[in-house]
């Protein structure tokens, strides 16, 4: 099991960190009392969870025991890491003022500034356990990218959907990027190919003999290869690339299948063909 403990000052970005981790495939538990840490981990291990992120904050009565729990987990062979988020007092005061949130330790005669300092003191023993990030000057988008880079999540969190469609039926509403392949040679005008699809060997052979088709595919593959990492760094979870031709059976299907094949080794890839029946298999 890989365990990431997320802790830090309220308002420093723990919720953002958990969102990134959940998108990256971690099973996330928020605000777990430290006394339940070992028990919950045993349960999650038995349930088959291999990557777990747990948030522990200053409200846990057993917080002083957390360093001992971390040492025990490492001794048991659990890959345990700690991510601690912090920010300056003026930054936290501003954030709580802007969001109108109540600090979890506020009340009982404490001002907001006093609650922030009390929390910083309570978490003093946790802040030295792992990697610390000062989020004072970081925008949420930048913090997300830093956490992705730190944990090696990178672009693998993006799911690509390649779908073919027919322009005569309209552009799919779920399309993020639309590719028009109607200028390419059309197998529809070959009588022997008309009833087939872009997944059939005869159509594939026809299109791969066309220099313009291969040039178009190479340009499209290079474009996507250049810009997909930037889309992933913008914290997108899904991207739909819709490839269209006139009837949605030949050119668009062929290109969609080839793009899926090209990007599947590095990304999570899904394929859909709007113009083909579910049982329209290669012949």
Q: Which two tokens stand for residue 60?
A: 């846990």
Contacts by residues 69-76 (CB-CB < 8 Å, ≥ 24 positions apart): 69/34, 69/37, 69/38, 70/5, 70/129, 72/38, 73/3, 73/38, 73/41
Q: What is the dihedral of CA 175, 176, 182, 188, to 10 degrees?
A: -40
- Model confidence at 157, in pLDDT bands (50, 70, 90)? low
Q: What would the pLDDT profile of 172-231 be if each residue is shown by its tens digit?
A: 988 999 999 999 999 999 999 999 999 999 999 999 999 999 999 999 999 999 999 888
Q: Tell me which H or E stretch contains 112.
A: helix 112-122
Q: Position of tokens 């088709």?
A: 213
Q: Which of 105, 139, 155 is the last residue of a domain?
A: 155
> pLDDT (tens digit, 9 = 90+) per residue, 163-184?
999 999 999 988 999 999 999 9
- Residue partners of 209: CB distance under 8 A and separation at least 6: none
Identify how many contiguous H helices and E strands the chain contains and give both numbers: 10, 9
Nearest CA-CA partner of 233 in 105, 142, 126, 112: 142
Structural domain including 84 reads 2-155
Are residue 148 and residue 195 in the same domain, yes or no?
no
pTM for this entry? 0.63
Angle, alpha carbons 29-35-40 (nearest 5°): 45
Q: Are residues 118 and 194 in the same domain?
A: no
The residue among 116, 140, 155 that closes a domain is 155
Cα 232 to Cα 59, 129, 149: the distances in Å are 35, 30, 12
pLDDT reading at 279 higher than 50: no
Q: CA-CA distance, 79 to 76, in Å (whole number)?
A: 9
Same domain, 147 and 255: no
Counting the structural domains of the chain, the total is 2
């Amino acid at each position: 099991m890989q365990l990431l403990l997320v802790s830090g000052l309220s308002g420093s970005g723990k919720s953002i960190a958990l969102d990134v981790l959940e998108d990256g495939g971690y099973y996330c538990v928020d605000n777990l009392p430290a006394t339940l840490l070992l028990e919950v981990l045993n349960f999650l291990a038995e349930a088959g969870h291999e990557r777990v992120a747990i948030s522990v904050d200053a409200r846990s009565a057993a917080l002083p025991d957390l360093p001992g729990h971390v040492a025990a987990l490492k001794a048991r062979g659990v890959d345990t890491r700690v991510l601690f988020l912090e920010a300056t007092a003026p930054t936290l005061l501003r954030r709580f003022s802007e969001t109108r949130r109540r600090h979890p330790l506020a009340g009982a005669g404490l001002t907001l500034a006093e609650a922030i300092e009390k929390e910083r003191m309570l978490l003093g023993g946790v802040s030295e356990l792992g990697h610390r990030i000062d989020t004072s000057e970081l925008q949420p988008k930048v913090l997300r990218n830093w956490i992705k880079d730190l944990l090696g999540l990178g672009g693998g969190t993006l799911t690509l959907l390649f779908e073919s469609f027919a322009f005569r039926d309209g552009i799919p509403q779920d399309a993020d990027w639309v590719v028009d392949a109607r200028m390419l040679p059309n197998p529809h005008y070959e009588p022997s190919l008309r009833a087939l699809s872009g997944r059939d060997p005869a159509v594939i052979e026809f299109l791969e003999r066309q220099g313009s088709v291969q040039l178009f595919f190479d340009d499209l593959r290079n474009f996507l290869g250049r810009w997909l990492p930037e889309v992933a760094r913008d914290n997108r979870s899904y991207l739909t690339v819709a490839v269209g031709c006139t009837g949605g059976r030949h050119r668009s299907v062929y290109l969609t299948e080839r793009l899926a094949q090209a990007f599947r080794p590095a990304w999570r890839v899904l394929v859909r063909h709007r113009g083909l029946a579910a049982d329209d298999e290669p012949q």
